[in-house]
Amino acid sequence: MDLANQSNGAAIKREDALSPARKRARRDEIQALKLAAPGIVWMTLFMVLPMIMVVYVSFWTQTTFAIEPTLTVDSWVRFLTSPTYLDSIVTTLFIWIVVLAATLVIGYPVALLIGLMIRNVTLQTALLVVCIIPFWTSFLIRVIAWRPTLGTEGAINSILINLGLIETPFTSLLFSELAVIIGMAQIYCVFMVGPITFMLARIDHSIIEAARDLGAGFGKIFWRIILPLSLPGVVVGAVFVSVMVLGEFATAAALSGRKVNMLGNIIVSQVGSLKWAFASVAGVILTIIIAIVITTLLRIVNIRKEM
C-alpha cells in the first residue's frame, strides 16, 4: 500500500487526505449520478429538446401549404384573438374540473371501502385488480362502447322506455358534453381510486379507534382524521387524472360528434392539416395549463413529507 501511494504521486495522496466519511460521500454521489444518467439523457432527448422545439416552431411563419423558420407572432395572435380557440380553452378547463370532481366523488367511497373498511389484504388486492379489469380491453373499445350505451336507441334509453319511465328517448345523452364527461369519468376513475386506496390503507386502525374512544362519531372522524390523512392520495390521484384529461382528445372526438373541442382536438386537427405552427401554439398553451394545475395541486399538500 505504502509503496503504491508513493509511486502514484500527488493525486492519490490528496485522495488519502480525505476522511473516510468524505470518501464514502463522494462514492455515493458518483453512484447517484450513474443511476440518474440514463434518465437525464432520455428526458433531454425526448422532452426538453422537443419542448424547446415546439415553443420555437410556434413562432414560425405558417402559409397555407408550407411552414418556414421566419419568426413571427402571427399564430399566437390568431389563436388568442379567435373565440373558437379561446372557447376550446374554456371547454378543456370545464371538462377537466367536472371530470376531476366526478372521479373524486365516485372514487373516494370506493377507495374508502377497499382501503379502510376491508381489512383482509387478499380481498383488498383482489378488489383493486377488479378495478383495473376494464383496462384489459383497448382504450378505443372502452370509449366506443359508450355509443351503443348512450345512443338514442342505445341501452340506457331502451331500458328506460321498457320500464315505462320515459316515452321519448333522451337524444342529448350521446354526442354531447355529457357523453364526454361520462366517458372520461369512467375511464379515469381508477387513477383516483388507486392512490387514495394506498393512503387509506396506511392509516393505523388504532388511530380511528382512538378517535371513536374519544367520543367522535363517523362524520367527525372522517373530516378530522381520515380525509386529512388521505389528502396526499387525493392530490396524487388528482394529478394523474388532470394530466390525462387535460391532454385528452380521443374521448371527446368519439363521444361528442365533434361538438366538443378540447385543446387536444385542436392540436390533432391542426396537425392533420399540416398547420404545425398553430398546433405548436395550442401545445404550448396546453403545457402551461397543465404546469399551473399540477403546481397548484402540489401546493395543497406536502408530498415530500409522505414519501
Site residues (vs another protein, CB under 8 A): 204, 206-207, 209-217, 220-221, 224-225, 228-229
CB atoms < 10 A from the CB of 173, how many? 19
* Buried b / exposed e along 277-286 (16+ C-beta atoms within 10 A): bbbbbbbbbb
Nearest approach, Cβ of residue 288 and another protein (Å): 33
As measured in angstroms, the least distance from the Cβ of 210 to another protein is: 4
Residue closer to another protein (CB basis): 202 or 258: 202
Of the candidates 206, 208, 232, the residue with the CA atom closest to the CA atom of residue 222: 208
Residue 215 CB, nearest approach to another protein (Å)? 3
- Residue 305 CB, nearest distance to another protein (Å)? 10
* CB 230, min distance to another protein, A: 10
What grid cell was written down for 153?
336507441
Nearer to another protein, 206 or 295 (CB): 206
Indicate the residue among 299 and 305 with the shorter CB distance to another protein: 305
C-beta of 220 vs 259, nearer to another protein: 220
Nearer to another protein, 234 or 252 (CB): 234
CB of 212 to another protein, least distance (A): 5
Nearer to another protein, 111 or 128 (CB): 111
Helix (H, G, I), strand (E, B) or coil at 151: coil
| Pairwise CA distance, residues 249 & 254, whole Å | 9
Q: Can you tell me the distance from the alpha carbon of 61 to that of 276, in angstroms, rounded to the nearest whole number?
A: 10
Decide the pairing of beta strands 61-62 and 67-68.
antiparallel
Closest by CA to 246, choosing from 93, 33, 120, 101, is 93
**E strand intervals along 41-114:** 61-62, 67-68
Residue 16's Cβ-side half-sphere holds a number of Cα atoms within 13 Å equal to 11
Smaller CB separation from another protein, 156 or 203: 203
* Residue 306 Cβ vs another protein, minimum distance, rounded to whole Å: 11
Sign of CA dihedral 109, 115, 120, 122: positive
